[in-house]
């Protein structure tokens, strides 16, 4: 255990791509737990599209990270010392923390990870902390998939999208994914069992959707917004659902982003568009973790980590999310 | 009874404002009912924003009216002769017909109007055929208003909007309406009991909404789309609802209409945007007509007809809807 802590602090609001001057990586004094807190060391840092939202001052679902504040993140770590009666050194915890090697925590934001059910810590953290419940509640609760329906998901080779398509298959639906490379598309169809995949960077998305969804789209699980949303809106079936999980195509935008021009399809086809974030479902996590754990144990769901090394690489690694360079759940191994 | 019929037929798809050359008003032979049909004479023709949609070939919820076909409309008339066992001369019928003085009909598109419960035919047709059930199901079913919430409605001095605001008040909500003149705004507040009204033509809509909705917007009943939708999106509360009933601001557009730039608020505030048309609720009409009839009888809902004369004036009268010249339910008295 070193004497000094290492902390990423937000210095500026990003404009466009997250520049190297947006955060600083500082050496600081070790934090000391007060009564009711524990000190933990970061093992894994989850890197998520929403990190860019928290850095900005756009309208968002939590207060943005303040300038000078440690960057917020979804974290997994091991308790070093504790002044909280329910936590002891060695406990593995996860939840909402910061981009800091050592940090203080307490419930409700940090809780013990588990039960692991035989899974490795990184897998359990990667699947159960954010990704799995996001896919589960967005598709099942808002999407209401029925056997025989067609489910389209964008960012399908991403962490959430890859789980959405696999749950869609488990529910008897046709699963169609959009991804940004031939390799990702092949992975979706050959390894994950998607019925079709579309390379949105090289194909005419509208024409490809027509081929891949001969009966139209019943559920479009939206991770990206933008042009892909517009293309899907145009092919939605009567009473279709659009769970809105993310709008990553526009997080890095510097100019005002136009809205979807096919918005009138919401009226014409009587669609339901509904935004959600997984924190809204915090009290129902056990339901999702139970179902996902069972599918994982039976080999019915495959989950891939894109594990990178070193807290010092947090910013350069995060940037991969917005260019589509990652494949699977992007995470940093810290210690 | 004349020997010749008079029929408005669609000749061209409108571009922008509906020009005089889009429909022709023709003299034609009288139609003759086949078995299972009745012949009826048009008494009242409802003029509705959606008429412009039916004339166009934009994506829509029914097939557009074909070129050369009689213009589709919501009609009320009196049976002249019948070859349908359930209808006899003198019966008052209403439903989906055409812009024709005499026309053939049969269920399910045309049915007997009623029960009138003491209301005049024009009032019952105006309130119960389309307008009332639209307001009722959109607000109650999709909006799910709770006492103490704030409901904003656009085109509030229009037929549907004026009923939406009054039902919102009956449900214990704060009702705020947007309309296009000082006179309309005064009518909303002084005669209909709205808590506030905003003249969108002269006021800064965002600033006025902030003043009129100090606790934010829980339900935005959207009749217009466009800039007003964008302004409302920005002020929606967590888990707000946007029943989408119409997008009249863009029906006459000749250029591509941009989508709402504040679309990301759907995600950030976890909004539910849902399109509907009243035909989706055809099997629940009695519920709406029952509630509306009771409110009307008790004087708890006021309803205003904007009654114009003469089938020959159908096009010039319809155009008033898109400029906001009408006030209340726009209708033609034909015979």
Whole-number percent of chain A with pLDDT over 90: 72
For residue A250, list chain B residues with Cβ-Cβ distance below 8 A.
264
Contact of B248 with B225, CB cutoff 8 Å:
yes
Q: For residue A247, give the nearest of B257, B267, B269 by CB distance.
A: B267
CA of B39 to nearest chain A CA: how many angstroms apart?
31
Contact of B152 with B188, CB cutoff 8 Å:
no
Name the phi and psi angles at A259, rounded to 5. Answer: -75, 175
Distance CA B100, CA B75 (A): 9
User: What residue of B is the nearest CA neighbor of A235?
Assistant: B59
Alpha-helix residue ranges (DSSP H) falling in chain B = 50-55, 121-126, 132-136, 159-170, 182-186, 205-212, 226-234, 265-268, 285-297, 314-323
Distances (CA, A) of B161 to B157, B222, B223, B299: 6, 9, 8, 18
The predicted structure's pLDDT at residue A2: 52
Name the phi and psi angles at B29, rounded to 5. Answer: -65, 150
> Roughly how many angstroms between the first and final C-alpha of chain B, as a whole number?
11
Distance CA A59, CA A62 (A): 9
Give the orientation angle of helix B205-212 with respect to helix B226-234, to 10 degrees: 50
Report the relative pairing of strands A38-46 and A329-333 from DSSP bridges: antiparallel
The predicted structure's pLDDT at residue B247: 84
Q: For residue B268, give the nearest of A61, A234, A270 by CB distance.
A: A61
Tally C-beta pairs within 8 A across A and B.
111
Q: Do A263 and B263 lie within an 8 Å CB cutoff? A: yes
For residue B272, list chain A residues with Cβ-Cβ distance below 8 A.
272-275
Name which of B77, B122, B128 is nearest B104 in CA terms. B77
B289-333 pLDDT, tens digit per residue, is: 889 988 988 889 998 889 999 999 999 999 988 887 777 789 999
What's the token pair of residue B270?
């976890």
Q: For residue B275, give the nearest of A250, A266, A276 by CB distance.
A: A266
Query: Rounded to two decimals, what is the model's pTM?
Result: 0.86
Q: Do B259 and A258 lie within an 8 Å CB cutoff? A: yes
A220 forms bridges with which residues in the sheet? Answer: A152
- Domains belonging to chain A, first-starting first, are 4-113+304-333 (3.90.180.10), 127-280 (3.40.50.720)
Q: Do B261 and A261 lie within an 8 Å CB cutoff? A: no
With a cut of 70, list the residues of chain A below it in pLDDT.
Answer: 1-2, 115, 117, 252-253
pLDDT at position B116 over 90: no
The predicted structure's pLDDT at residue B63: 87
> Roughly how many angstroms between the first and final C-alpha of chain A, as a whole number?
11
B52-96 pLDDT, tens digit per residue, is: 989 998 887 788 999 999 999 999 999 999 999 999 999 999 989
Question: How many C-beta neighbours within 10 Å does residue B183 have?
Answer: 12
| Burial degree of B59 (CB within 10 A; 0-12, 13-18, 19+) | middle
pLDDT average, residue stretch B179-187 = 95
Q: Do B256 and A261 lie within an 8 Å CB cutoff? A: yes
Examine residue B115 and say whether the peptide bond preceding it is cis (omega within 30 degrees of 0). yes
For residue B58, list chain A residues with Cβ-Cβ distance below 8 A.
264, 268
B21-51 pLDDT, tens digit per residue, is: 999 999 999 999 999 999 999 999 999 988 9
Region for A23 from its dihedrals, namely left if φ exceeds 0, alpha if ψ lies in -120 to 50, beta otherwise? beta
- Could you give the maximum distance between any two Cα atoms of chain A, in Å? 63
A90-142 pLDDT, tens digit per residue, is: 999 998 999 999 999 998 888 888 767 677 889 889 888 889 999 999 999 99
Contact of A262 with A291, CB cutoff 8 Å:
no
The predicted structure's pLDDT at residue B324: 76
Q: State the DSSP H helix or E strand holding residue B45, giving kind and residue range, or none if neither.
A: strand B38-46
pLDDT average, residue stretch B264-274 = 95
The predicted structure's pLDDT at residue B2: 52
Q: Which residues of A make CB contacts under 8 Å with B?
A: 58-61, 225, 230, 234, 244-247, 250, 256-277, 280
Q: State the DSSP H helix or E strand holding residue A6, giving kind and residue range, or none if neither.
A: strand A4-10
* CA angle (B246 as vertex; B243, B252 as ends), nearest 5: 155
CA of A52 to nearest chain B CA: how many angstroms apart?
14
């Amino acid at each position: 255990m070193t004497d000094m802590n290492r902390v990423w602090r937000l210095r500026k609001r990003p404009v466009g791509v997250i520049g190297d001057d947006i955060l600083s990586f500082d050496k600081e004094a070790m934090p000391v737990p007060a009564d009711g807190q524990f000190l933990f060391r970061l093992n894994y840092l989850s890197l998520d599209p929403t990190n860019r939202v928290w850095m900005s001052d756009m309208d968002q679902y939590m207060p943005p990270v303040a300038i000078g504040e440690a960057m917020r993140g979804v974290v997994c770590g091991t308790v070093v010392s504790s002044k909280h009666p329910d936590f002891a050194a060695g406990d593995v915890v996860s939840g909402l923390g910061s981009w800091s090697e050592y940090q203080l925590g307490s419930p409700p934001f940090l809780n013990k990870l588990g039960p692991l059910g035989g899974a490795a810590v990184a897998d359990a953290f990667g699947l159960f902390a954010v990704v799995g419940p996001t896919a589960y509640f967005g598709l099942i609760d808002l999407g209401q998939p029925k056997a025989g329906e067609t489910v389209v998901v964008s960012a399908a080779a991403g962490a959430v999208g890859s789980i959405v398509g696999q749950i869609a298959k488990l529910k008897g639906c046709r699963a169609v994914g959009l991804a940004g490379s031939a390799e990702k598309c092949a992975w979706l169809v050959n390894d994950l069992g998607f019925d079709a995949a579309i390379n949105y960077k090289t194909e005419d998305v509208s024409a490809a959707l027509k081929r891949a969804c001969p009966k139209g789209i019943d559920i479009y699980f939206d991770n990206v917004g933008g042009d892909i949303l517009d293309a899907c809106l145009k092919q939605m079936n009567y009473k279709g659902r659009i769970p809105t999980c993310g709008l990553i195509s526009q997080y890095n935008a510097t100019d005002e982003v136009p809205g979807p021009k096919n918005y009138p399809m919401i009226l014409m086809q009587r669609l339901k568009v509904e935004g959600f974030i997984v924190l809204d479902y915090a009290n129902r996590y056990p339901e999702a973790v139970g179902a996902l754990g069972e599918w994982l144990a039976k080999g019915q769901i495959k989950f891939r980590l894109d594990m990178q090394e070193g807290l010092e690489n947090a910013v350069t690694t995060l940037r991969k999310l917005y260019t589509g360079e990652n494949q699977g759940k992007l995470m940093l191994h810290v210690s």
